[in-house]
Chain A
Amino acid sequence: MLHLVRFLLLFYMRSYRYLPPLLVFLLGLMMLYVYPTKQAMPTYAASAVLVYFISAWIAATFMGAIHGAEEHVAAVHAGNVRMYLVGKTLAIFACSFLVCLAAMIYPVAADRFTNGVSSGEWLTAWLAHLELSLLGGLAALILNRTVIRNGSMAIFWLLLVLMVSIVRSGADLLRCSSCFRPRHRSSIG
């Protein structure tokens, strides 16, 4: 399985289809942390929403990077189609995990939180990032051309689901992040 995942990741890397989502992600992350912030959670909530969108984009480009005939060849070598699909899903989630890691580590490494981050905030932010990246990846896995034959309709439904859920999940995350705010402030004050 490890060899299959590595092969698929290499295949994706060499297609260069990861470049647009990667560049947008880096740009979004830098814009988010242009100015140092006191509160970690509201910014982490925003970066989790960014991760959600980018994970879906990466998954969609991953699905399109591998030619149908190449998928058949890889499935035969993997033993069966199910094994291949598991490998592909793991490879997509590996990409999403790296995006999460970057979103979590960048503000800390660049010293963007003036008041630091507590362990509770860190854990909550990690879970939120991982959860949203998985959801984004799954949305793209479900709403793709193999399931919805019309490619344009597949993109339309994916964007619709992302937009509707970004509004909802973004609001929830911001509400969740506000739970930390008073406690954090009181500890400082």
Chain B
Amino acid sequence: MEVLIELRNVGKWYAAGRPVVQQIDLAVYRGQGLAIRGRNGSGKTTLLKLIAGITRPSAGAVRRAPGLTVGYAPERFPRVRFRAEEYLTHLGRIRRIPKPELERRIQELMDLFQMHAAGPITHFSKGMTQKVNLMQAVLARPDVLVLDEPLSGLDADSQADFARLLVKFKQEGAAIVMTGHEPGFENAWADRSMVIEHGRLKAMPKDTGTSSGEEPSAWISDQWGVN
């Protein structure tokens, strides 16, 4: 399986002696769903930021496959003063997606997420705002989709719809890394489940991939000479 991102002995701390995450060994594979569970403050969001490249590790190394496209949906997506289409257009242009292709993609996502609301996002409900959050994350057809508790605030029907979308993105070849609290949130789409406790990542029984304590993959050894 193709490794897209690999974290090797990664640690992150904002104050000396108080690591948020530590000794993380993790590989993200193409087309695979990885669910990460953990309590509030356990280090889930920091781990996702490290995977998405938003923050740098204080220790260890994060390696990405060349030309990798990452989509990221934060937990607390702000209600911005843009209309949904306008907002997505700006983000798509920042990504340098050609205009005709971008218009097609936005329309496709609008239909897929059944988003027909007009007006600025500031007037949207929590569920609608979360849809915009997910739409911006998948806008550029990312290789890796990093989702920080995207189900919070969604009702049961929306959660089921969302799980179906995740399966669809996986079938299109995207790797999914997602955190959550909800019981069984990973059942429909995840191939691997892990739990993070006090900043340390542990495999859950369902997990079959690389987890903490394993040797570096052949891929990372070949690409960057890590032993």
Answer yes or no: A69 CB below 8 A from chain B CBs: yes
- Give bound CA distance, A114 to B91, whole Å: 50
- Expressed in whole angstroms, the minimum distance between the Cβ of B23 and any Cβ of chain A is 24
Interface mask (A1-22 → B, CB under 8 Å = 1, otherwise 0) = 0011011001100110000000
- Given contacts A14-B81, A77-B140, list 10 more A-B pairs with CB under 8 A: A7-B90, A10-B90, A14-B82, A70-B78, A70-B80, A75-B54, A77-B91, A77-B94, A77-B95, A81-B54
B78 touches A67 (CB 8 A): yes
B94 touches A69 (CB 8 A): no
Answer yes or no: B4 CB below 8 A from chain A CBs: no
Answer yes or no: A181 CB below 8 A from chain B CBs: no
- Dominant SS at the B interface? loop
B78 touches A76 (CB 8 A): no
- Expressed in whole angstroms, the minimum distance between the Cβ of B69 and any Cβ of chain A is 10
Interface mask (B87-130 → A, CB under 8 Å = 1, otherwise 0) = 00011011110000000000000000000000000000000000
Q: Which residues of B contact A72 (CB under 8 A)?
A: 49, 52, 54, 72, 74
Q: Which residues of A contact B95 (CB under 8 A)?
A: 77
Which one of B72, B82, B94 has the highest number of Cβ atoms from chain A below 10 Å of its Cβ? B94
- Give bound CA distance, A180 to B82, whole Å: 50
Q: How large is the interface on B (under 10, 10 to 19, 20 to 34, 35 or more residues)?
A: 20 to 34
Which one of B81, B90, B95 has the highest number of Cβ atoms from chain A below 10 Å of its Cβ? B90
**Which residue of B is nearest A72, CB measured?**
B54
Answer yes or no: A159 CB below 8 A from chain B CBs: no
Interface mask (B129-140 → A, CB under 8 Å = 1, otherwise 0) = 000000010001
Answer yes or no: B41 CB below 8 A from chain A CBs: no
A69 with B74, Cβ < 8 A, contacts A11-B80, A74-B94 known = yes
Which residues of B does A touch, CB under 8 Å? 49, 52-55, 70-78, 80-82, 90-91, 93-96, 136, 140
Which one of B53, B54, B70, B71 has the highest number of Cβ atoms from chain A below 10 Å of its Cβ? B54
- Expressed in whole angstroms, the minimum distance between the Cβ of A88 and any Cβ of chain B is 12
Q: Which residues of B contact A80 (CB under 8 A)?
A: 53
Q: Which residues of B contact A69 (CB under 8 A)?
A: 74-78
- Give bound CA distance, A87 to B54, whole Å: 16
7 nearest A-B pairs in the assembled complex, by CB-CB distance: A69-B74, A67-B78, A14-B81, A3-B93, A76-B72, A7-B90, A77-B94
- Give bound CA distance, A78 to B78, whole Å: 18
**Which residue of A is nearest B71, CB measured?**
A76
Q: Which residues of B contact A108 (CB under 8 A)?
A: none
A4 touches B94 (CB 8 A): yes
Q: Which residues of A contact B93 (CB under 8 A)?
A: 3, 7
Can you report 25 residue pairs joining A to B where beta carbons are below 8 Å apart?
A3-B90, A3-B93, A3-B94, A7-B90, A7-B94, A11-B80, A11-B81, A14-B81, A15-B81, A69-B77, A69-B78, A72-B49, A73-B72, A73-B74, A73-B77, A73-B136, A76-B52, A76-B53, A76-B54, A76-B71, A76-B72, A77-B91, A77-B94, A77-B136, A81-B54
- Expressed in whole angstroms, the minimum distance between the Cβ of B145 and any Cβ of chain A is 11
- Expressed in whole angstroms, the minimum distance between the Cβ of B150 and any Cβ of chain A is 13
- Give bound CA distance, A80 to B77, whole Å: 19
- Give bound CA distance, A75 to B77, whole Å: 14
**Which residue of B is nearest A87, CB measured?**
B94
Q: Which residues of B contact A75 (CB under 8 A)?
A: 54
**Which residue of B is nearest A69, CB measured?**
B74
- Expressed in whole angstroms, the minimum distance between the Cβ of A5 and any Cβ of chain B is 10
Q: Which residues of B contact A73 (CB under 8 A)?
A: 72-74, 77, 91, 136
- Expressed in whole angstroms, the minimum distance between the Cβ of B33 and any Cβ of chain A is 20
**Which residue of A is nearest B140, CB measured?**
A77
